[in-house]
Structures are given as structure tokens and as C-alpha cells.
Chains A and B, each alone.
Chain A
């Protein structure tokens, strides 16, 4: 019985790893191509998760809905809701310099968090939303359901990756990188900096919302604790920087690598004596921070540095 235990540990690892990969790809659209510093990832994640939870969970008197809608509908609406929030923020903040956008996005994520805790009619406050379904639940249960879910997550990782790659390889992506590298020059060659920035911020937000929705379905229960910025925003940034900002494969690799290390440190800190165990969470953060320093000293642009995409042009006329 040894092998299946490990196999299912790996399935669990890949599920969360996949959700982080989507977050990381989304952050790469905003920061890697666009140079937009989003320090409020957890806010978009929460908007997506709660949208999906409210729309797909069974009816409850404790919060709005649930509306018992199909998971696909919830997923799409989660992306849309998070995208709309992203659009509103972009309208205000995209003109600001990178450091101000970072401040604004932290603030807005915190507002979203407080709203979720306080607006009990909508979210059931700190008690959270339960009975969130998983796809194909009626047909599979137990460990088979875990496998079904990991496949579902990675299908969405694949879609996200495809979108990210097409964006990066297109003339649109080239303009985006140009704006990131030099905003003044981009404007002087006729690129509407605000338009492009808004677009990339919104697309990134959509996928952050989708990642949040997936996590709600995975846990089947979602409360404000799951939107802890250290676990979402901080880890996603570490993953992208370690994997290689500007590189989509790097984003996925970084997500898996850092998530693996994060999960292993949990195993280690569980061995600690009880009065140390309460300190484990910040000790793990510290370890991850040190690790990032180490990676960046060895590999300045992450494990997979950004590369210009292959030129895609039609054959000779």
C-alpha cells in the first residue's frame, strides 16, 4: 500500500501546483510582459473563488445563493468578475508609476478581504462557504475524484499557457514588452500605452480569478483564511521570479519548484517540537525568502530567463 499513498500525495501536490501555475502565468502577463506590479494577487484570487463558490454551491440561508449552477459557468463568471475588478483598478492605476500601482493593489486587495469578512449576507463572513462542488462528482468519488480534479486543473493550465504564449508571440505582446522596457519610446512610436496596459492587466486578472475558483472547488469549502496574502501573493511572486519573469514555461516551472519546496518544508516543520510548530509558518516564509536570494544569485533572471519569441512571419511573398 506504500505506492498509492505517494501517488496520491503527488496528485495533491500537482493540483495545488497547477493552481499556482495559473496564478503565475497570470502574473507573468501583468509583470513579465507588461511591467505592471500587482501586489494584490490575493484579492483577484478571492473574487474568483467567491464568485464560483456562490454560483455553484447548493442553496444556503447563510449567504447569497448558492445558485447551484454548473461549474463551467461558475468558472467563466469567476474570470469575468475578477476581470471587471482588474479593469476598474487599471482605469485608475495604470497611469501611475510601478511603485504606486503596487501600493494601490495592496490596498485594494485588503479592501476586498475586509469586505469578504464583513459582508456576511454575501459571503457568510469568516465562517466561509461550504458544499462547493467538484466536476463530475456524481460519477467519481474518493481517490478517483482527486485524479479527475487534477486533470481538470491541468487542462485549464494548458489553456492558460496557450493564451499566454499566443499573447507573447504576437505583435500585441511585442508592444507590451516595448512598453515595459521604455514607456516614452513606446508612446512616441504611436502605441497607446494605457490601452495595452489595461488589456494585459485585465487578462491577468481574469486568470487569477480562475485560479481562485479552482481552489474553491478543490477545497469544497472557502473562507477568508484561504486568501492569506502570504500564501497567494507572496508565493506567486517568488514562483515567477525564481522561474523566470517573462518566460511562460519558467512561470510553470517556478510554480512547481517552489510549491514542492514549500510542501517539503511543511513536512520538516511538522517534526518540530510543539512550541516550535506555531512558529513554523514564518520559518517557512523565511526559508523561501532565503531560497529566492540563492536562486537569484546563481541565475539572475530566474531558472528560465526571458527569450525573445521566434519570429513568426509568412513565407516569401
Chain B
């Protein structure tokens, strides 16, 4: 059983404090949903955990299986089992999906170990078929000219290939059409059954209908201000964030 523990995390960009003391533990096989208004620090949280160099962790800790990952480079964190599905995936002209994923798979192999190219392509194509991604995409440059939905599907393809322990999925549902949403949800549910832990940032109840969360958290101004089960998402959908705000003021 693995765990990802975020402990009293404070994150700033330059002088500006964005995440202001956030605590959360995700265990293998669990899905935690984070919801919250725009600009509240959800992406900042996800990127800081993944090790983005622009963000400074001023206090708190992030532990993977009990060990702090804060001193690790982003690539080390990824190889240790973290995966960030980006809200806005980078476009990288000139680097093909096939070469990129091969480099990522190779990075996880031991010194002197050779990648079995046939096996690699077989696995890649079977994942692409599952996600209904045209095989022609392997020779296209990473996200270059991809539609919004194609980018998100490509993120899930990478996740499926790299088999992380924990995935931070930042608005993977936005931009997906209904069919794609179902395909992605099926993909995540399949990985969940093999013990993937998920921290899922979303604005929409719709996704949570397909990927049923164990916990739902509301993030507000850099903190988790309310947690509950899946019914909290429905309540939010019905009442809006003003309801949370009023509760906060009352408290």
C-alpha cells in the first residue's frame, strides 16, 4: 500500500503566497477530487508537488511512501511514481510522441538495459487503441496542433504507458467530448483497480459520475476548507461556491 501525503504545504510564486497550508493524504486505489473556484491554487498545488521550478515550497512537506520528495528533481519524482496530467500540456514542435515516450520509458530502465522496441510499440499501440487515438499520432510532435481534447487524451496515454503510483490529474476532463470523457474515465478506473491513487482536480460533477471519488475536497484561497464524500460534489453543483463562502464567513 502506497501513500502520497501532503502536509501543511505552503507554496509561493515569487513573493506571492498561493497555497497556504494544505494537508491531504491519498492512498493507493483512492480517488480524491479537488474542486474550487478559478485562481484558488489547484494547479499550483499539483505543479509544486510534481516539482515545477517556478514554485517555492516555503514550508510543509510532501511524502511518498513516507519519504520526503521535496529534495528530488521533477524527473526523479516522476520515476518514483508521480504523474502530473497537465491542465495545459506543453506543445513541443519537432519531438515526436513516439520518441518522447520511448525516452520516458527508457529513463525508467536500469543502466545498460536495452529497450525492446517491438514490445514497446506493441504496448503503445494497444494503449492507443484503448484510448481510441489514431496510431498516426505517434509520429506527430508532442501536442503540436492537437485539439484540446486530443491533448488530454494524449496525457492519459502517457499515464497509461508510464504506470505511476499516483496521478495528479489537473482538469483532464475539460475539453473532452462525451465519448472521450467515457474513454478516459474507463482508462482511469482500470488503473485505479490496479492500485493507482488519484488526485483529481475538476470543475464538473459530470466526470465524478464516471470516476466515483472516495473523497471530495473544496479548495479556497490556498486551503482545503471543506471535505466530504461524493455527495459534496452534487451539493456544490446545486448550490455554487457562494454557499461555501457563506459557510466560511459564518465559521
Asked whether A and B interact, the reply is: no
